[in-house]
A and B are shown apart, each in its own frame.
Chain A
Amino acid sequence: MVRYVAQRVGQSILAIFLTVSTVFVLVRLAPGDPAAAYASPLATTAELDRIRAQFGLDKPLIQQYGIFVQDLFHGNLGTSFSFQASALDVVLSRMPYTIMLAVSAILFAAVVAIPAGVWMARHADTARELGANVAMIAGQSMPEFWSGIMLLTVFAVLVPVLPASGFTSWAGLVLPTVTVGILQIALISRLVRREMGAGFAAPYLTIARSRGIPERGLTWRYAMGNSAVPVVTALGTRFAAMLNGVVVVEVVFAWPGVGSLVVRALETRDYPLIQATVLVTAVLTVLVQLLIDLTYPLLDPRVRLGKAVAS
């Protein structure tokens, strides 16, 4: 167990380092000049050179990378060009909002999608299930920027019951959560329906039914108990993906999270800020993934960490 975790942490550090290095090179390969973004529109070549020197962008790429890595090991991710503050601090100040939205959206999705999926599995191949399926596919097909704007129009403009943007009160969390949730509900409920369908067809369920166990017990203890691993994996993976910033939704609702931050950082070619965002979200993603893996043995006794699942 300890060895497994140590191994995983080692792998993760390597993966994070490679990710950050790749991003370091890629942002510099992309067209656009940070100096031009920060200088006045009428800046002279000399002024641009001065800004480049100030940001350390006049040095060869390999030397910039050397400085970056050296700073990285001292916990310094550079100074954000646009905020003129520690890039890491800027990202960390935004992170709580993204985490809040991600937690709220994943809870909302789980609370709706799991019962919906179970209901669909119990009514498999009926007209009602077909109807539910159509609704779910519709939900899956709606782009987030569209459903977000529609929800805004209805609940913040036509019937102004909820705040339109930003985070000033808990009510502000509702519309972004629902917008993110719609897509997740569509995806997760259909996964739950598929897994539960397999669970209902399992021999042990029929045998349990033959000894008089009520349908409720069969559904929640037997079928759900045996579907827990894929369902938890899906929820965890979606949650980890949301931590990378729910970019579109954050922009639509002016949500002060890392998603809208990274859009701004990209627009202004704020290299240190981009790098810091990638590093922080990569670390969080890896942590969530490790946490999911650690729950497997609790959900399925056949799983032994560090080995493949016995069938």
Chain B
Amino acid sequence: MTAEFDEDDRPLLEVEDLQIELMTEAGIVRAVDGVSFVIRHGETVTIIGESGSGKSTTAMGILRLLPPELAVLSGTARFQGVDVIADPRAVRKVRGRTVSLIPQDPMTALSPVHTIGQQLREAVRLRHRGLSRAETVSRSVDLLARMHIPDPASQLGKYPHQLSGGMLQRVLIAIALAGSPVLLVADEPTSALDVTVQAGILGLLLEVQENTGIGILMITHDIGVARLVSDRIHVMKDGRFVESGEAEQIVNAPRDPYTRKLLTAVPRLGPWDEDGESPDAPIALGEPR
């Protein structure tokens, strides 16, 4: 094995034996206990689990967004070869450039006193320093247009409270893509949204992936979401992966009893019903906006 990798062959993210211990009032809790996974170009890897399983802690941990005085990390997490666990400062090189985060609740994820345009232009300028103001604006408008946001130029002057949750999530995806990252970490990106809006956001993520080949780490508790977007699924419980495999296999032939339990917790697939809660319903709706 040589040290010289072809850039494109390197995995976007390689996590090995990641452990995260959190200081809580009840003492030290091992929230993540030795998980390993790999994400390559164009892949979507999903970590699915109940709340408290450690899935979001994994995502926040590899981005070094857990408060350093409250979380102790060990193992490795390499973004295109840059290990952010051994050297916490290295994460500055990858944030926004190699990897971007799509948050759980779009309503609180943008600064309420700055316009959409200010926050989007700032993200564009971080990566592309030499751009003039006009170029930055046109790139911002372009990004919003790619997110199918109607009348993108006029949205730049708006404040977050003037947009709906679904629109804000599109804006946040645009901001996440502003630095042209190769990997997105989507932490429950649709849980705070209406069912009808969820499908649009998931569809958008898949479209972005198709166009750019971006890798996605999807964190979700929703097997419907996981089944729709994933190449591989890791089922997480109490800080460990209890089962890992191709999406097909996990959904259709789960081996672990916990995975089976998780699958049966989903309402049965059926014809369209009044409450529209069957897992395929959002998919059938397509682009609602």
CA distance A208 to B103 in the complex (A): 11
Q: Which chain A residues numbered 204 to 224 have a C-beta less than 8 Å away from chain B?
A: 204-213, 217, 221-222
What are the 4 A-B residue pairs with the smallest beta carbon separation, nearest first?
A212-B96, A212-B95, A210-B101, A211-B96
With known contacts A210-B95, A301-B161, A302-B161, A226–B113 Cβ distance under 8 A: yes
CA distance A46 to B11 in the complex (A): 106
Q: Which residue of A lies closest to B119 (CB)?
A: A208
- Shortest distance from the beta carbon of A134 to any chain B beta carbon, whole Å: 21
Q: Let me know if A310 is at the binding interface, CB within 8 A.
A: yes
CA distance A206 to B123 in the complex (A): 14
Type the 1/0 row for B173-202, where 1 means its CB is closer than 8 Å to any CB of A: 001101100000000000000000000000
Q: Let me know if B100 is at the binding interface, CB within 8 A.
A: yes
Q: Let me know if A150 is at the binding interface, CB within 8 A.
A: no
Q: Let me know if B122 is at the binding interface, CB within 8 A.
A: yes
From A202, A203, A210, A222, residue with most partner B Cβ within 10 Å: A210
Q: Let me know if A61 is at the binding interface, CB within 8 A.
A: no
Kindly state the interface size class of chain B when it binds its partner.
20 to 34
> For residue B29, which residues in chain A have a CB less than 8 angstroms away from its CB?
none
- Shortest distance from the beta carbon of A222 to any chain B beta carbon, whole Å: 5
Q: Let me know if B159 is at the binding interface, CB within 8 A.
A: yes
Q: Which chain A residues numbered 237 to 286 have a C-beta less than 8 Å away from chain B?
A: none
Q: Let me know if B126 is at the binding interface, CB within 8 A.
A: yes
Does the CB pair A203–B161 fall under 8 Å? no
Does the CB pair B114–A203 fall under 8 Å? no
Q: Let me know if B65 is at the binding interface, CB within 8 A.
A: yes
Does the CB pair A202–B113 fall under 8 Å? no
Q: Let me know if B21 is at the binding interface, CB within 8 A.
A: no
> For residue B112, which residues in chain A have a CB less than 8 angstroms away from its CB?
204, 226, 300-302
Q: Which residue of B lies closest to A298 (CB)?
A: B113
Given contacts A204-B112, A211-B178, 17 further A-B contacts (CB under 8 A): A207-B109, A209-B65, A209-B95, A210-B63, A210-B65, A211-B100, A212-B97, A217-B122, A222-B111, A222-B114, A226-B112, A226-B113, A228-B113, A300-B113, A301-B113, A301-B115, A310-B161
Q: Let me know if B105 is at the binding interface, CB within 8 A.
A: yes
A contact residues, total (Cβ < 8 Å): 23
Dominant SS among interface residues on chain B: loop
CA distance A71 to B48 in the complex (A): 80
> For residue B176, which residues in chain A have a CB less than 8 angstroms away from its CB?
211
Type the 1/0 row for B77-117, where 1 means its CB is closer than 8 Å to any CB of A: 00000000000000010011100110101001111111100
Does the CB pair B111–A211 fall under 8 Å? no
Q: Which residue of B lies closest to A126 (CB)?
A: B69
> For residue B179, which residues in chain A have a CB less than 8 angstroms away from its CB?
211-212
> For residue A225, which residues in chain B have a CB less than 8 angstroms away from its CB?
111, 113-114
Q: Which residue of A lies closest to B92 (CB)?
A: A212
Report 5 cross-chain contacts, Cβ distance below 8 Å, ordered by A residue. Answer: A211-B101, A211-B126, A211-B179, A213-B126, A302-B112
With known contacts A203-B103, A301-B161, A213–B109 Cβ distance under 8 A: no
With known contacts A207-B103, A209-B65, A226-B112, A302–B97 Cβ distance under 8 A: no
CA distance A300 to B63 in the complex (A): 30
Q: Let me know if A305 is at the binding interface, CB within 8 A.
A: no
CA distance A266 to B112 in the complex (A): 49
Type the 1/0 row for A144-166, where 1 means its CB is closer than 8 Å to any CB of B: 00000000000000000000000
> For residue A213, which residues in chain B have a CB less than 8 angstroms away from its CB?
96, 122-123, 126
Q: Which residue of B lies closest to A211 (CB)?
A: B96
Does the CB pair A204–B100 fall under 8 Å? no
> For residue A202, which residues in chain B have a CB less than 8 angstroms away from its CB?
108
Q: Which residue of A lies closest to B93 (CB)?
A: A212
Type the 1/0 row for A20-50, where 1 means its CB is closer than 8 Å to any CB of B: 0000000000000000000000000000000
> For residue A203, which residues in chain B have a CB less than 8 angstroms away from its CB?
103, 105, 108-109
Q: Which residue of B lies closest to A299 (CB)?
A: B113
B159 CB contact (under 8 Å) in A222, A226, A302: A302
From B96, B103, B111, B122, residue with most partner A Cβ within 10 Å: B111
A204 CB contact (under 8 Å) in B111, B123, B126, B159: B111
Does the CB pair B111–A208 fall under 8 Å? yes
CA distance A36 to B235 in the complex (A): 92
CA distance A116 to B92 in the complex (A): 27
> For residue B103, which residues in chain A have a CB less than 8 angstroms away from its CB?
203, 207
> For residue B63, which residues in chain A have a CB less than 8 angstroms away from its CB?
210
CA distance A202 to B103 in the complex (A): 13
> For residue B109, which residues in chain A have a CB less than 8 angstroms away from its CB?
203-204, 207
CA distance A301 to B159 in the complex (A): 7
CA distance A226 to B159 in the complex (A): 13
CA distance A217 to B92 in the complex (A): 14
> For residue A228, which residues in chain B have a CB less than 8 angstroms away from its CB?
113
Q: Which residue of A lies closest to B96 (CB)?
A: A212
> For residue B100, which residues in chain A have a CB less than 8 angstroms away from its CB?
210-211
Q: Which residue of B lies closest to A227 (CB)?
A: B113
Q: Which chain B residues numbered 13 to 62 have a C-beta less than 8 Å away from chain A?
A: none
Q: Which residue of B lies closest to A209 (CB)?
A: B65
> For residue B159, which residues in chain A have a CB less than 8 angstroms away from its CB?
301-302
> For residue B119, which residues in chain A have a CB less than 8 angstroms away from its CB?
208
CA distance A226 to B112 in the complex (A): 8
CA distance A222 to B176 in the complex (A): 17
A211 CB contact (under 8 Å) in B95, B105, B113: B95
CA distance A19 to B100 in the complex (A): 58
